[in-house]
Chain A
Amino acid sequence: MRFLQTGCAVLLLPYTYTVFKSIFLNTLLSWLLLLVVGPVLAQGPLFTNGDGPEQDCGLTLSGKVLDHDTREPLIGATIYIEELQRATLSDEYGNYHFHHLCRGSYTLKLTYIGYVPEQPSLRMASSTVRNLTLHLDTRQLSEVEITGNRLAEEAQSTGSLTGRQLESTRGLSLGESLKNISGMSTIQTGPTISKPVIHGLHSNRILLLNNGVRHEGQQWGSEHAPEIDPFVASELKVVKGAAGVRYGADAIGGVVIVEPSALPDSAGVGGELNLLGSTNNRQGGVSATVEGKATRLSAWSWRLQGTAKRAGNARTADYFMQNTGLQELNFSGALGYKKENFGAEAFYSQFNTKLGILKASHIGNLTDLENAIGRERPEQTSYDFTYAIERPYQDVTHHLLKTKVFWDTGSAGKLEFVYGLQRNIREEYDAHRASGSNPELTLDITTHTTETVWEHTPAGNFSGSAGITTLYQNNTYQGRYFIPFFRNFTAGTFVTEKWRKDKLQLEGGVRYDYKKLSITKRERNSDIIRPEYQFHNVSGTLGALYDVGYHLTFGLSATSAWRAPGANELFSDGVHHGSASYERGNRDLNSEQAYNFEGSVTYYANPRLNGKLSVYNNFINEYIYLAPVQPPTLTIRGAFPTFEYKQADAVFRGVDLDLEYKFTQQLYLESRTSIVRATNLNLDDHLVGVPADRYSNMLRYEPLAALGKLTDSYLALGGTYVAKQTRVPTKTEQDYMDPPAGYFLLNLEAGTTLRIGNQPVELGITGSNLLNTSYRDYLNRFRYFTDDMGRMLLFRVKLPLDFSTR
């Protein structure tokens, strides 16, 4: 039981940073948590090794990873023990080691870029020294940019969700899934609309890269959720902080990368079937994938995928939220042709969603809003559960067509060309009286993107790439005015280089972008105006990574990015629904320019404690924000407070801390801390809408051996504590309601795999807000009107399918 007490101490550690009052609550909850887990740990068969007390678990496996032919040590090769799900990297001398292994048989998975992967097995009876060799893969050598398990590809901090972590978020929206990465939060509009926030920045300040194409819709709107089906992804990755050089304009806060798995390269037809069901909003869903390749030598491979989801009214701890259902229907197809040094790929996806918007958020004026804030709960809560979606709602369709061609020249490097075509149609149905069946507003935007990248063959210690990107888009609308017609042409060119020798890696890059925005707008007096804007800017990046040995790496990076003002910031003019404010664009805005500085320490591949600490400072010159102006706007529904887009220098600074502590091989604690502070430097005041401090701790148990017929089982219990946001603007009136109190949510994840005949069946449960806490989140725009979601259990069944006849 000793480790349990340590467990508790560590579990509580992050909370000591918070206010004393909240400590009390959390201590209590943490103890409660332990009371629940404690007895299980003490007596449950889950947690014993089953091999009796003689079991020796202090064995060490070590050795060198070598090139089979030259006997050169391989630096940074990944050695993964399948049974334990533990990985390590070979160090600068090719040495690797695993500590605290138990006796038994293990399968090692050995991977290194440019080499054929190996899977040697070994039986451990005592500590063992074993050298591992790998064969050079002439076919794979060209593919330098395999997303591998190597640590720290770049100095700038990234986070990612893959494998089991990603699986446990299946069924959630993209924004909610990404919350499991430190430094991430979401901005919400009720329970259905959720957008990712990186280091306090969101919407048009972060870039979404969907299958290698920058996602373009109406992403400027904080109530416009990303039109991406997370089921397509085999990896969700986040680049935190300004990353303009490689990804282009707008990546001021960072980049979210949604990466599907590569098309199959082994013969046969396979796939997977996912079934979902949840309590609370009674969500049901199904997602299926089929993929294949005719023969081993065939160059063609393909994939088809589809997802359907439906949910009804979500429930807070105490009542249903009226009209908060959602429907989603997505599908995609991919076809690939791949030869040794030439390949092509085509991908098409369609995303369709219908999102109900909380009835109570439809208000007429400021008095209505103040009445709503004054009420404990929405006026109409006597509603039962229903799947029906009424006005107001959004209906959005997003098409993406991507074609990619690559040509590997061998000596001169690799050339890749990507063309993307997107069309985003957003229909908004208002809750006006006696509306017909047509939407009050349809926004329609078509985007063409190209990217041509040349990646040169590594020369000496240098590797790098250069490229040209273009974007052309056309935006139109029908119905009420929100943003004008516009055409946007952007072109950019970049070059990045990386120098790596021994323990040091240096990287640098520079980029130039030009943007032309042509507006067509009908003025209030019916005149048509056609103003044109031109912006151009240089972005740069510098980074250094130093491996000091002893499993410790230091990283420093300075990156920049810029963003031109959006059509909404220049030309919006009207009452903003649900926020009872009149928003006015500013036609004289300049570009924002961000300079992000980050320092990080990574402590990795250690037997017990591993983690990463990252400290950042993101300066944004001419940050565009809504500032209150006088006088209020008088309308037929009374006076509305008026806001206009203004610019000021701002800084977003903060800390992300990831920690993992292994009590035993099976039991470990995962801890994530995200803290961000944002200041308007001109006013010397806080900025509005910045995420509150967030602490997340999860105790995970993963038995090494199979439990009867159950394999790959896991159980995790923990909680997220979100503090009250106390840093809000004090010099101007920017919000109608004080930030809500901090809250603690108890969460659970569990899963296992069983076999029915030859068919593996993966089962999983993700439970959130288990204590059914009523709370409101500062970054939920509907906190004026309703509590957040209550307890929800999400059940998942996944069937990996293999139609090949062996």
Chain B
Amino acid sequence: MSKIFRLPLTFILIAALVSFTSCDDHDDEPHDEEGELITTVTLTMTPQGGGTPITATYRDLDGDGGNAPVMTPAIVVLKAGVTYTTTIRVLDEANNEDLTAEIKQEGHEHEFFFVPSPATLMTVTKTDKDRNNRPVGLENTLQTSSTAQSGSLRVVLKHQPGGLKTNNSTISTGETDADVTYAIRLE
């Protein structure tokens, strides 16, 4: 008798195990946890030879979708014919984290690329180096055109892991971590 019921009992036990571990918690509520993500890219441009630093922020606090990203200021006003010392900060404001140091540390797998439009709007030169003596782009100099005009600056952060970052790697190499565009007016 007992022997006959032993095997079905095993099955019932497995059933209990499977079902009760997944038992409904009534009124359970979902908590969305986005993985580490970039919400904010800030450029701080200090004119060489003195002057007030200018900051430009591109921010998308609620992540992909939802509210559209916000640029502050809407148009970044720079002086024509001036060289700015520029630093970039990358933040995850949703989780209150500064990712700049992490990018710096993994500099050998990251690189910023700058695309001014029109191309003559400014010249950007990366001044920092990773451990392989290749540019990273968290620190730059930005030399504006001497002609007053309007345009834009696209800043692209590429992740180039597993040996993808070389002396020849370009904006097309690897995976895009951030791709933001600032409206610029030169006065």
Seen from chain A, the residues whose Cβ lies within 8 Å of a Cβ on chain B are 302, 335, 346, 348, 359, 362-365, 367-368, 371, 379-380, 382, 399, 401, 403, 421, 423, 430, 432-435, 440, 444, 446, 448, 474, 476-481, 484-485, 487, 520-522, 524, 528, 573-575, 582, 584, 633-638, 640
- B30 cross-chain contacts in A, Cβ below 8 A: 476-477, 481, 484-485, 520-522
Given contacts A474-B24, A636-B38, contact A480 B176 (CB under 8 A): no
User: Could you count the A-B residue pairs with CB atoms below 8 Å apart for me: how many are there?
Assistant: 137
B64 near A575: Cβ-Cβ < 8 Å:
yes
A367 near B35: Cβ-Cβ < 8 Å:
no
B36 near A433: Cβ-Cβ < 8 Å:
yes
A522 near B176: Cβ-Cβ < 8 Å:
no
B33 near A480: Cβ-Cβ < 8 Å:
yes
B142 to chain A, nearest CB (A): 21
Give the one of B19, B24, B176, B178 with max A CB within 10 A: B176
Tell me the nearest residue of chain B to A363, going by C-beta.
Answer: B175
Give Cα A479–Cα B33 distance, bound, in whole angstroms: 5
Tell me the interface secondary structure of chain A in the complex. strand
The one of A364, A430, A524, A584 in contact with B179, judged by C-beta atoms closer than 8 angstroms, is A364
A423 near B69: Cβ-Cβ < 8 Å:
no
Tell me the nearest residue of chain B to A431, going by C-beta.
Answer: B175
- A359 cross-chain contacts in B, Cβ below 8 A: 162
B32 near A637: Cβ-Cβ < 8 Å:
no
B15 adjacent to chain A (CB < 8 Å): yes
Seen from chain B, the residues whose Cβ lies within 8 Å of a Cβ on chain A are 7-8, 11, 14-15, 18-19, 22, 24, 28-41, 58, 60, 62-69, 102, 106, 159, 162-164, 172-180
B3 to chain A, nearest CB (A): 10
- B38 cross-chain contacts in A, Cβ below 8 A: 636
B150 to chain A, nearest CB (A): 20
Give Cα A430–Cα B59 distance, bound, in whole angstroms: 23
Instruction: Jot down 12 A-B pairs with beta carbons below 8 A, ordered by A.
Output: A363-B176, A382-B163, A399-B18, A401-B18, A421-B15, A444-B22, A480-B33, A520-B28, A522-B29, A582-B65, A636-B69, A638-B176
A582 near B18: Cβ-Cβ < 8 Å:
no
B172 near A371: Cβ-Cβ < 8 Å:
yes
B159 near A633: Cβ-Cβ < 8 Å:
no
- A481 cross-chain contacts in B, Cβ below 8 A: 30, 32, 34
Tell me the nearest residue of chain A to B22, going by C-beta.
Answer: A446
B33 near A478: Cβ-Cβ < 8 Å:
yes
A348 near B28: Cβ-Cβ < 8 Å:
no
B176 near A528: Cβ-Cβ < 8 Å:
no
Given contacts A335-B11, A435-B35, A520-B28, contact A636 B18 (CB under 8 A): no
A401 near B164: Cβ-Cβ < 8 Å:
no
- A440 cross-chain contacts in B, Cβ below 8 A: 35
- B164 cross-chain contacts in A, Cβ below 8 A: 379-380
Tell me the nearest residue of chain B to A448, going by C-beta.
Answer: B19
Tell me the nearest residue of chain B to A444, going by C-beta.
Answer: B22
B179 near A423: Cβ-Cβ < 8 Å:
no
- A365 cross-chain contacts in B, Cβ below 8 A: 176, 179
Tell me the nearest residue of chain B to A472, going by C-beta.
Answer: B24
B174 near A379: Cβ-Cβ < 8 Å:
yes
Tell me the nearest residue of chain B to A638, going by C-beta.
Answer: B179
Tell me the nearest residue of chain B to A400, going by C-beta.
Answer: B18
A524 near B62: Cβ-Cβ < 8 Å:
yes
A735 to chain B, nearest CB (A): 21
- B180 cross-chain contacts in A, Cβ below 8 A: 636, 638
Tell me the nearest residue of chain A to B173, going by C-beta.
Answer: A379
Give Cα A485–Cα B28 distance, bound, in whole angstroms: 9
B121 to chain A, nearest CB (A): 19
Give Cα A476–Cα B22 distance, bound, in whole angstroms: 9
A636 near B58: Cβ-Cβ < 8 Å:
yes
Other than the given A432-B36, A520-B30, A635-B69, 7 more pairs (CB < 8 A) read: A379-B173, A423-B19, A433-B106, A479-B33, A481-B34, A636-B180, A638-B180
Give Cα A345–Cα B173 distance, bound, in whole angstroms: 58
A335 near B8: Cβ-Cβ < 8 Å:
yes
Give the one of A335, A423, A446, A635 with max B CB within 10 A: A635
- A379 cross-chain contacts in B, Cβ below 8 A: 164, 173-174
Given contacts A433-B106, A481-B32, contact A574 B14 (CB under 8 A): no
The one of B24, B40, B177 in contact with A364, judged by C-beta atoms closer than 8 angstroms, is B177
A434 near B36: Cβ-Cβ < 8 Å:
yes
- A637 cross-chain contacts in B, Cβ below 8 A: 64, 176-179
- A584 cross-chain contacts in B, Cβ below 8 A: 65
Given contacts A433-B36, A434-B102, A635-B69, contact A474 B175 (CB under 8 A): no
A480 near B8: Cβ-Cβ < 8 Å:
no
Given contacts A379-B174, A430-B35, A474-B22, contact A367 B64 (CB under 8 A): no
